[in-house]
Amino acid sequence: MRHGRYRFLAGAMIPPLLLYGVFVLSPYAQAFYLAFTDWNGLSGQANLVGLENFGKLWSDPLFLAALRHNGLMLLVVPLVTIGLALFFAAMLGTGEKRRAASAYRIVYFFPQLLSVAIIAVLWQFVYTPNSGLLNGLLSGIGLPGLRRSWLAEPDLAIWAVMATMIWAAVGFYVVLFSAAMESIPADVLEAALLDGAGRMTTFRRITLPLVWDSVQVAWIYLGVAALDGFALVQIMTVGPGGPDNSTEVMGLSLYRNAFTYGKFGYASAMGVALFFLTLTLAVLLLRVSRRERVELS
């Protein structure tokens, strides 16, 4: 019987492990290998160049610009998205709005039903200088002086892209945080209010610690998303990556070097650098945001 059980377990485990190795681990291994070569994507031969590709990264002004823009997105997108999502989730769970919370969650979650390509095209129309929704709204409320060519001005384009990222992501985290807040026993919150704690104090001292695990997960996911941004930049911006490389991101540099310039070895080095940046970010966020878990008995 025991041998039969082992054969069953081996038969169940080996196929998915093989698939994981072929479709997940093997591409990683190939990318790591190609990062040390000068492969152009077409030739059957790839010459080893050692660390030359990695050395070029730090003298490539376009890659350094992309690194700065991804760093800015890493600072702004998770912070604003989590702040807005916590605010909306807290508002949904209080007072008379609790009854309409389900309807509000559907509205907030709606952007998650759209693909990134559709979101990018929609926001292109929003930012259109002459007939866009944003400039039309500014004119409608008597602020025509604030009308801008949002995606055509180097100082504004990256912020316009980040606003789109935040709009697309905040609904998902509203639903996530709302679910976490609903798991908090009502008598705990009522006891805090009876003790004289205001809503802000109750949120800071009770609600936030009890939903901290969800916030920690959000930090990691949003941090990884902020190091990407390829699809939005590729579709929304002029160039893409413009104007004047003001919206260049690492994913776009990688794509351009691989599929436009035929520098697959150099692009693989970018991919390896991005892999270690993402891994380091995840580890740092886990350590920095680690707190003692609060459990209710």
Report residue 35's pLDDT band, with 50, 70 and 90 as the boundaries.
very high
Share of the chain above pLDDT 70, in %: 94
Neighbours of 112 (CB within 10 A): 12
Do 253 and 234 meet the contact criterion of CB atoms below 8 Å apart?
A: no
Q: In this predicted structure, what is the pLDDT of residue 291? A: 67
CA distance linking residue 103 with residue 106, whole number of Å: 5
pLDDT single digits (tens) 181-192 = 888 888 888 888
pLDDT single digits (tens) 208-262 = 888 888 998 899 899 989 988 899 999 999 888 888 889 999 999 999 999 999 9
Q: In this predicted structure, what is the pLDDT of residue 94? A: 60
CA distance linking residue 23 with residue 20, whole number of Å: 5
**Region of residue 239 (left: phi > 0; alpha: psi -120 to 50; beta: else):** left
Report residue 164's pLDDT band, with 50, 70 and 90 as the boundaries.
very high
Given the candidates 3.40.640.10, 3.40.50.300, 3.30.360.10, 1.10.3720.10, the CATH classification of the domain at 53-289 is 1.10.3720.10
Q: In this predicted structure, what is the pLDDT of residue 144? A: 87
Q: In this predicted structure, what is the pLDDT of residue 289? A: 73
Helix (H) / strand (E) element for 67: namely helix 61-92
For the chain, the structural domain boundaries read 53-289
Q: In this predicted structure, what is the pLDDT of residue 1? A: 55
**Region of residue 132 (left: phi > 0; alpha: psi -120 to 50; beta: else):** beta
pLDDT at residue 97 is higher than 80:
no
pTM: 0.86
Among 6-10, 94-98, 232-236, the range scoring the smallest mean pLDDT is: 94-98
Report residue 295's pLDDT band, with 50, 70 and 90 as the boundaries.
low
